[in-house]
């Protein structure tokens, strides 16, 4: 399941991120690629252990953990420190079809996670570049994703995906992985659908409506059944 979450970062926050990133030294994106990915990955990224990547990454994690739609979709247990990449037309950047590694370890914190979900947070507006679509394959076919700056997409880390060549301008994004408390993708999808329906009912009937409270109880009992902590 692909889930888009709008407005993780405000436009002024995005502008500030971009100003800071423009002044940073970038390195070859292959430094964090697995053996198979390294063959098809052509982009740049901020040094993952660098001061700026860490500072901006912490701001993203604060924004994520305050966002109800993100929390409902991901049910996150561990979020990997966000990384930042850039694809420019001048350098013919692209990232061919690949899957993400099942486990990621962070050198600085020692955190090791199972990558249940991959996340791309767009930091360029769609009109700033041509190409650069994130293409994700799932059971319903292939989806091209290009979101406004400040929005993100969550998708199963196991899915085949790629970034098409950027042919004009530059595409800047943050990307990272997370381990969900709910490992099974179908269970996670059911929890998200139930949560979304409960929020809509609460809006219509009020938070104290007794049937809505009962459904909320069912939601929490499903989490009790499925959460791995």
Q: Which residues bind Ni ion (CB under 5 A)?
A: 100
Eight-state DSSP code of residue 50? S
- Cα 152 to Cα 71: distance, rounded to the nearest angstrom: 13
Name the residue number minimizing CB distance to Ni ion: 100
- Output the smallest distance, CB 16 to Ni ion, in A: 26
Helix (H, G, I), strand (E, B), or coil: what is residue 77? strand
Nearer to Ni ion, 142 or 196 (CB): 142
Nearer to Ni ion, 120 or 216 (CB): 120
Nearer to Ni ion, 100 or 116 (CB): 100
- Output the smallest distance, CB 161 to Ni ion, in A: 6
Q: Pairing state of beta strands 152-156 and 3-5?
A: antiparallel
Nearer to Ni ion, 32 or 88 (CB): 32
**What is 141-210 written as a DSSP string?**
EEEEE---TT-EEEEETTS-EEEPPEEEEEEEEEEEEEEES---HHHHHHHHHHHHHHHHHHHHH-TT-H
- Output the smallest distance, CB 132 to Ni ion, in A: 14
- Output the smallest distance, CB 134 to Ni ion, in A: 9
Total Cβ atoms within 10 A of residue 130? 16
């Amino acid at each position: 399941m692909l889930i888009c979450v709008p407005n993780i970062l405000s436009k002024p926050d995005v502008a500030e991120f971009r100003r800071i990133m423009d002044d940073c030294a970038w390195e070859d994106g292959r430094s964090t690629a697995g053996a198979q990915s390294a063959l098809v990955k052509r982009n740049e990224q901020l040094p993952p252990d660098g001061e700026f990547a860490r500072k901006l990454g912490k701001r993203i994690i604060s924004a994520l953990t305050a966002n109800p739609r993100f929390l409902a979709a991901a049910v996150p247990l561990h979020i990997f420190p966000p990384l930042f990449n850039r694809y420019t037309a001048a350098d013919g950047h692209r990232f061919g079809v690949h899957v993400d590694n099942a486990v990621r370890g962070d050198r600085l914190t020692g955190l090791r996670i199972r990558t249940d979900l991959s996340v791309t947070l767009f930091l360029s507006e769609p009109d700033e570049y041509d190409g650069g679509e994130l293409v994700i394959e799932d059971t319903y076919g292939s989806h091209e994703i290009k979101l406004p700056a400040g929005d993100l997409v969550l998708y199963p880390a196991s899915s085949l995906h790629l970034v098409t060549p950027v042919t004009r301008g530059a595409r800047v994004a943050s990307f990272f992985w997370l381990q969900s408390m709910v490992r099974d993708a179908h269970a996670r999808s059911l929890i998200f659908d139930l949560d979304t329906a409960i929020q809509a009912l609460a809006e219509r009937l009020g938070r104290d409506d007794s049937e809505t409270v009962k459904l909320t109880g069912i939601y929490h009992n499903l989490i009790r059944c499925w959460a791995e902590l």
